[in-house]
Amino acid sequence: MQTILRNVVGAMLVAVAALRTGWPQSTAQEIRLSDIRAQQPPESIYASDPCQRARETPQGSMDFPVYPNTFVPDLKTLLERSDEVILAAHINQVTAISPNGKSTATYQEVRVIHSWKGAHPAGSTPTFGKRGGLVECSPNRGGPLFSAVPRGKFLDGLALDYFVYVLFLRHAQGEETQLVQGLLPAGGEGLQGEFHIYIPHYPSDADKGCRDVLQGTTGSLQDCYSYLRSLTSPVMILYEFDPLAAKYYGKPASGFIEEIQSEADSQESAQQPSLK
């Protein structure tokens, strides 16, 4: 009887938490773009506080502070803090008003090419979120816009026609759930843990399988992963204030992926029970 009561109370608490954040109960664990769109139709975004500010001020934007002490100094610690570590291709995205109603959050759906850690195997399509992004505040073309960006310098990158993500993700906790729902980059309060690997613009027989995967058509995930493991194209990092940028920005993808694999193997081995 006590076990039944505990289960009922637990379910009630999850339901209350979902109602308070304005998200349906089914997304308390797994956020989907369709759920976000359903919760926030355009009219809801137009009426939000951020859009009201965009109509009142010429800039229509805000920057939010970055706290260096929330970033990790190395890949080992980033992997330890992550619930999911995946190599993935972009599918779609949507920007919405953040759960606290004060800013924006961008959610991206990806297709997993390879998983080093976590519950999403190759072929699955998780969604992760990050703070900030741009929303339209009017149905009229050229109407007001609201955007939110982290305070600091963005690194210049290439024109990435095709790229894949390496993502270190964890579930939002505590006050973070008022900024982003579901999975978010594992370090820097959601600003550290997203890496891009550039795929050359001109196709070749070697990368055709990866292009098919990126374009959402047929393609072997295993062949794509094998191709990426040998790729010398650079790793891209979004922010100069990320301490990992000094080591990994511009690093060949093959070496970066090999380092992740080695660290993932090491951590998995350390968690295995001793045979002694």
Q: Which amino acid is at 110?
A: V
Total of domains in the chain: 1
Note the pLDDT tens digit of each residue in 156-178. 654 555 689 999 999 999 999 99
In a domain, 248, yes or no: yes
The reported pLDDT for the residue numbered 15 is 35
In a domain, 5, yes or no: no
- Give the separation between CA 75 and CA 83, rounded to whole angstroms: 14
Backbone angles phi, psi at 30, to 5 degrees: -135, 110
| SS3 of residue 101 by DSSP | coil
Residue 68 in domain = yes
Lowest-pLDDT choice from 47-51, 68-72, 139-143, 148-152: 139-143
Among residues 126, 136, 43, 50, which one has the least CA distance to residue 95?
Answer: 136
Range of the domain at 118: 25-269
Residue 136 located in a structural domain: yes
Q: Is the pLDDT of residue 240 over 60?
A: yes
- Does 229 map to a domain? yes
Residue 276 is assigned to a structural domain of this protein: no
- Give the global pTM: 0.85
Residue 20 has pLDDT above 50, yes or no: no
Continuous H helices in the chain: 2-21, 33-39, 42-46, 49-56, 75-81, 208-214, 221-229, 245-248, 253-271
In a domain, 12, yes or no: no
Helices (H) and strands (E) in the chain, counts: 9, 10
Higher local confidence (pLDDT), 211 or 131: 131
Residue 11 resides in a domain = no
Confidence of residue 3 (pLDDT cuts 50, 70, 90): very low
pLDDT, tens digit, 9 for 90 and up, residues 173-206: 999 999 999 999 999 999 999 999 988 765 566 5
210 pLDDT higher than 70 = yes
Please tell me which residue, 268 or 207, carries the higher pLDDT value.
Answer: 268
What value does the mean pLDDT of the chain take? 84
Q: What is the pLDDT of residue 142?
A: 84
